[in-house]
Every structure is written in C-alpha cells, then in structure tokens.
Amino acid sequence: MILFNTAFLSVEKDGVVTHLNFKFNGWGEKYNYADDNALNHKLANTKLFKGKSHPDIDFILEGGSIESDGAGTLLTTRQCLLNPNRNKGLSQQEIEQVLAQHLGAKRILWLDQPNLPGDDTDAHIDTLARFCSPTTIAYTSCDDYNDLNYDSLKQMELQLQALRTPEGEAYTLVPLPLPDPIFDEDEQQLPANYANFLIINHAVLVPVYGDANDAVALERIGKVFPTYHIIAIPCRPLVHQYGSLHCMTMQFPEGY
C-alpha cells in the first residue's frame, strides 16, 4: 500500500516559502501511518529542505483534500474535512479558521459529495473537481444512467453550477468523463478518474487508463490549458494502489 499526500504543503508570502507539516493519520486511521507521519521531519534534514521554515501544524490535512485557485479560494468536500475521523470536535467554522490562518484562504467552497468507488480517502477533492484557473473548474462527470456514480455526480454538478467566483460570476465548468470501471483481483472497483491530473511547469500530466475516454479527457483538459503541453501518463498500476497521478505527487516551488 502506497500512502499519498503526506509531504509538506508549501505556501508563499511576500516572496518567502514556508513548508507546512500538517498531521497525517492514514485517512482516518484506515492504515498504519506512523512512518508516513514522521516523513517530513526526515525530509527537513535533507539538502532540499535544510534551513527552510517547516512548522508543525496540529491539524490533520492531506494535500488531496483541498484544491486552491491560487488567488485565495479553496475547494473541498464536507465528507473529508468534516469527517470525525480527521479532526474530531472541530466545527466547519473552526476548520475554516485553520485553513485561513495557515494557507491564506480568503474563502472556502464546500461540496457535499461521497467518494468514488474504491476511494478510501473519504472524497478527496482531487478526484472530483479541480481548478484550472481562478474562473475554471474541471470536474468528474457521468452521463450513464446505469452507472452507480450517476446520481451523486449529477448532484455535485448542480452544486458546482451554483458556485460563484469572488466577482459573483458563475465558474466555467469542464466535465471530464469517467473511464470504464477498473477492478482489482478481488473485484473491488478502483478510483480511476481524470480529475487527478497534475499541473507542473509548462505542462499538465493527465492520467490515462487505456480507455476510449482517455482521448476525450486529454482534449478537454488541453482546451483549458492552451499554453501547456498535455502529457498522458498511464496510471492503471497507480489505481491498484487506490490513488492516481495527483495523489502520489507533491509540487514544490520552482527553483528548488
């Protein structure tokens, strides 16, 4: 089992980068997590991070559970951040205060959305809806009435349509189809999706699964990132570890 989203979360203020060490508890104590939770203290002594600021934050938060537009807005799900298996006893308002204090969030947009089949993160937002710009959101969608995800993803779509930018405008929404279901050796469905793409310098890496909808996802993501190289990354092996491309990566500022 690979445990994802355990490395530092980086924030920049007045040109100074700080690496925040949030706590990790194996997505609600589903797995052993002691070594993963200790990872950042080991990283802090490596050449890349030595001498940098890396404060410990007494709050459980995974990188995949929040999505930032880079301009003060965070997107997340109540099913994850308000789950009592993370920060039990904290209200939504108290959680928002933590995110504002440490991540500079000016506002939090909340979705009510259950996780995709096979997802053990309690509905990480990076499998569901992603900012492509401060005014554009790509999201996991479903048009197959027979798909188990159909009703819940249509409800999420309605919620996204109701969201507004800080200027009061509707977001431009880009639907990303689901690939055909992928199952493990025990016939458990795995959380394959295209919203788990990764934005890097001058390129967007898009998970693909050898599915007909790979081409659809690549085309739609390419249209909203016209100046980026769109690179397909085969991710069938990753979803067998119950995550995909964005789940197993962590971005750090350019120049590191």
pTM: 0.94
Q: Which amino acid is at 7?
A: A
pLDDT at 4: 47
Q: How far apart, in Å, are the Cα atoms of 18 and each of 12, 51, 53, 64, 234? A: 6, 11, 5, 19, 32
pLDDT at 30: 92
pLDDT at 3: 41
pLDDT tens by residue, 11-50: 988 888 899 999 999 999 999 998 888 889 998 888 888 8
Q: Which residues are catalytic?
A: 247
pLDDT at 6: 65
pLDDT tens by residue, 201-216: 999 999 999 999 999 9
Give the span between the Cα atoms of 171 and 210, in whole angstroms: 30
Q: Which two tokens stand for residue 46?
A: 């490596």
pLDDT at 252: 82
pLDDT at 5: 54
The class level of CATH for 9-248 reads alpha beta
Residues of the chain with pLDDT under 50: 1-4
